[in-house]
Chains A and B, each alone.
Chain A
């Protein structure tokens, strides 16, 4: 498998990372050498193997449905790039 600069730009678009043509060109070679490394696992026969998502057999714990958090929105919004009236500010999405 070999990624083209266009593939790199498509993936970068999926990941929301602005990437110039020159960057895509430079990244392409590095990604391809990483995918060559990854390709060594393709030859392994895993037909009857169950995938392992996690190290421990854990189940999703549930908690009682009651409010335990205190209101800390002022502290949390103090570290945001742009807020007003308790709201996060972003460019307009609906004209």
Chain B
């Protein structure tokens, strides 16, 4: 299958060169051929997909199509989807068929975009390698011995292998950007509050944000137009005027000030990643950008702060999984307390339990000030660094991850080593800023390298402009892994 952009697919659908059903079937065939080796999907339901595609064809025939009507998309299994198994990558929800749609799902349905299925992910979005999924690890399509990143690893892998033209992801500490980088696709985490969290299974509520994942920045802009919007069902949803995120894609970059945080190019960064990012900076300069040396001095504290705040919020959010109202319940137990404890011991995996324990500890009596309050104060310092930086630059640029994909099993026994993967992505979550990752090269092993852009609040259109102009003069985003067994 060649690689048409979302706008090309939409044009082919609008001119009836192809029907939504035919398009969906082509992707379903590719999923059937490739997914057994990649494991990017937890649930595929061809009947449901084709039913939705037929409805999209009816909209097109009736002249009621929107910009992406009929284009199929894969959804991360963190989004409640009415009538679909929604597992969040956990045994705890292995049998949970959601009785309603998340707001994000509602919006894609309203846009007439059929779902290709539910993508694999780290359990409850806690992980950077997709190895914590109850449904097995996802393999990186560029080399199946390597991880795809996480937690939106299935989403990144299915887009990279062109099993879907686009996918939804969520990002609490880098879960859209890091897998996008490791799989060679484009992914964007919007400003906190732009996309509703309603029906998105909660991990750390003050950090969680959904966003688009696709081959190109232009695709992401089109998807963001669908995903964003006020939702009264999410208490942190922002009530703002609707934006068209494609509006600035074609603007020239002359005069753009690119901030290079020296802390993101320091010790710990793989030299091949550093070299690729520097070449990308040179490309942007050719397009008229200038660079500014900036400092995000407190970003070195982002990981410790995150591993207090995120587990604290997670321990509270995940207390709802008690074997009473939905999901798994232990087969044997004594009293009520025993039922809770056994259900949670058996239903959660090791990484989820670790984080619940960290959260329970830092919130326990006598430790709140030393951990939670101190972390919230440093969170302020990290956000203040960004505010200072945006006085002298329009966008911040650096690597997405300190290295390229690592081997399956290589870091799974060492939580701290795994956590360091999100060194450059966590600061944007803590500040609530938009961040995106786009492909900017390959290492010597042929694994993709990701470039990160962080923008000021609500500057998604500007970031997409920068990314689109970069992708106009480079073809990293168009490269595809060699895939066997598919047409």
Contacts and interface: CB of A to CB of B under 8 A. Distances in A.
B477 interface: no
B354 interface: yes
A22 interface: no
Interface in A54-74: 54-56, 58, 60-61, 63, 72
Interface string A51-95: 111111010110100000000100110111110000010111100
A72 B325 contact: no
Nearest to A24: B357
Contacts of B339: 90-91
B360 A53 contact: no
A51 B368 CA distance: 13
Contacts of B358: 31, 34-35
Contact of B193 (A12, A36, A58, A76): A58
Contacts of A50: 377, 380
B357 A54 contact: no
Interface residues of B, number: 72
Nearest to B347: A17
B416 A34 contact: yes
Kindly name the residue among A3, A14, A16, A53 whose own CB sees the greatest number of chain B CB atoms within 10 A.
Answer: A16
B325 A37 contact: no
Interface string A25-59: 00100110111111111101010011111111010
Given A16-B344, A17-B344, A33-B416, A63 B232 contact: yes
A61 to B, nearest CB: 6
B51 interface: no
Nearest to A54: B206
Question: How large, as a class, is the contact surface on chain A?
Answer: 35 or more
A42 B360 contact: no
Contacts of B364: 11, 14
Nearest to B96: A79
Contacts of A81: 323-324, 326-329
A60 B236 CA distance: 8
Contact of B432 (A11, A55, A88): A55
A52 B378 CA distance: 8
Interface of A: 3, 8, 11-19, 27, 30-31, 33-42, 44, 46, 49-56, 58, 60-61, 63, 72, 75-76, 78-82, 88, 90-93
What are the nearest 8 A-B pairs in CB distance? A55-B432, A51-B376, A46-B377, A81-B329, A52-B380, A18-B345, A55-B192, A18-B341
Interface of B: 95-97, 99-100, 191-193, 206, 232, 235-236, 238, 298, 301, 303-305, 307-308, 315, 319, 322-329, 333-342, 344-345, 348, 353-354, 356-361, 364, 370-371, 373-381, 383, 415-416, 419, 430-433, 457
7 contacts: A16-B319, A41-B308, A46-B378, A56-B238, A63-B232, A72-B99, A79-B325
